[in-house]
Amino acid sequence: MYLPSLIMILVASGVMPVLGNMSTQPLISNSIRESNDFTEPTPFYEALAKALKKRKTKIENICPPSDPVSKRILEEYGAIFVADKKVTPPPVCVFTTEEQVTRFQDAAGFEADVFGFDEVELQPEALKKLNKARAEAQKEGLDITPRDGAEAARRNYEDSVRLWNSRFEPALDYWLAQGRLTAEQVARLRSLPLSQQVAEVLELEKTGIYFSKDLSKSILYSIAAPGASQHIAMLAFDVNEFENPRVREILAKHGWFQTVLSDLPHFTFLGLKEKDLPKHGLRSVEINGQVFWIPNVPAVHPGLDK
């Protein structure tokens, strides 16, 4: 047997820890495997520093590493910060007001297109490449359509807060009913300012009190933290046809990749060639046949490690 595939089987079966040129990260699931089909990825922070320098900024300005929440958000959703220079990543990891989001979106610019009955908005280069991918899919009798209408693409700050609450609120009710949170804790969590709410949710998740839609994993794999969505950056598109491998292949060919672990319909526009992603600090992780390109950092993936 070809040695790398033997290693892959041992790794996938949990017999052997992931090591060597694959990653030093501990094995996180039987269905998750690190890929060694690509070249050794550059460390994310190294690639990020380079990308930000070209944009005349630095990490301290966008996402202070001393803040554990913004660090976590950067490591979960940060792929957009190493995107091609034809697009504009946000000036911060976490927007805190609608006004700040509007200012960024107006400066970056966006265009609209009609997909069926829905109008979707994205940064111009992202939309152009999405349309190319869609045309290619349609030529093969397939299609690429927005999931949940206009919300599939550009979102504003308020949308991101509303979506956060759509996970946060039912999870509070559930954990209260389960006796894992007290009424006092729930009332206090509800009353916290958003940034602190996010911080405390991420802390609770370390104890197994998860806030994703199915309550089995981190809320960050279900919905972005308020103000932190790649949809706010207008570089994300939720695709109905995400289960079709050929659709995913066509999207990748046009610079659209999956970059948020476990958010299955969510695609991110990076505008880069897949073979170049490792040198931009991203590494591939395959989960049940879908390839995710995530920041190459040693990380834990709460709720995905069982």
Residues at the site binding Zn ion, with contacts judged by CB under 5 A: 236, 238, 266
Q: Are 231 and 155 in contact (CB under 8 A)?
A: yes
With respect to Zn ion, which residue has the nearer C-beta, 121 or 238?
238
246 CB neighbour count, 10 Å cutoff: 12
Distance in Å, CB of 108 to Zn ion, minimum = 18
Distance in Å, CB of 224 to Zn ion, minimum = 8
| E-only strand ranges, 118-238 | 118-122, 236-238
User: Which of 168, 210, 212, 211 is closest to 191 using CA atoms?
Assistant: 168
With respect to Zn ion, which residue has the nearer C-beta, 185 or 290?
290
Q: What angle do CA 118, 119, 124 make, to 5 degrees?
A: 145
Phi, psi of 11 (to 5 degrees): -65, -50
Distance in Å, CB of 150 to Zn ion, minimum = 12
Q: Tell me the residue number closest to Zn ion, measured at CB.
A: 266
First vs last C-alpha separation in the chain: 29
Distance in Å, CB of 301 to Zn ion, minimum = 18
Pull the structure tokens for residue 258. Answer: 């999956």
Distance in Å, CB of 231 to Zn ion, minimum = 6
Strands of the sheet containing 32-34, edge to edge, are 32-34, 282-287, 290-295
With respect to Zn ion, which residue has the nearer C-beta, 185 or 244?
244
With respect to Zn ion, which residue has the nearer C-beta, 181 or 235?
235
Distance in Å, CB of 271 to Zn ion, minimum = 17
With respect to Zn ion, which residue has the nearer C-beta, 78 or 278?
78
With respect to Zn ion, which residue has the nearer C-beta, 23 or 259?
259
Burial of 108 (0-12, 13-18, 19+ CB in 10 A): middle
Q: Residue holding tokens 């990308």?
A: 51
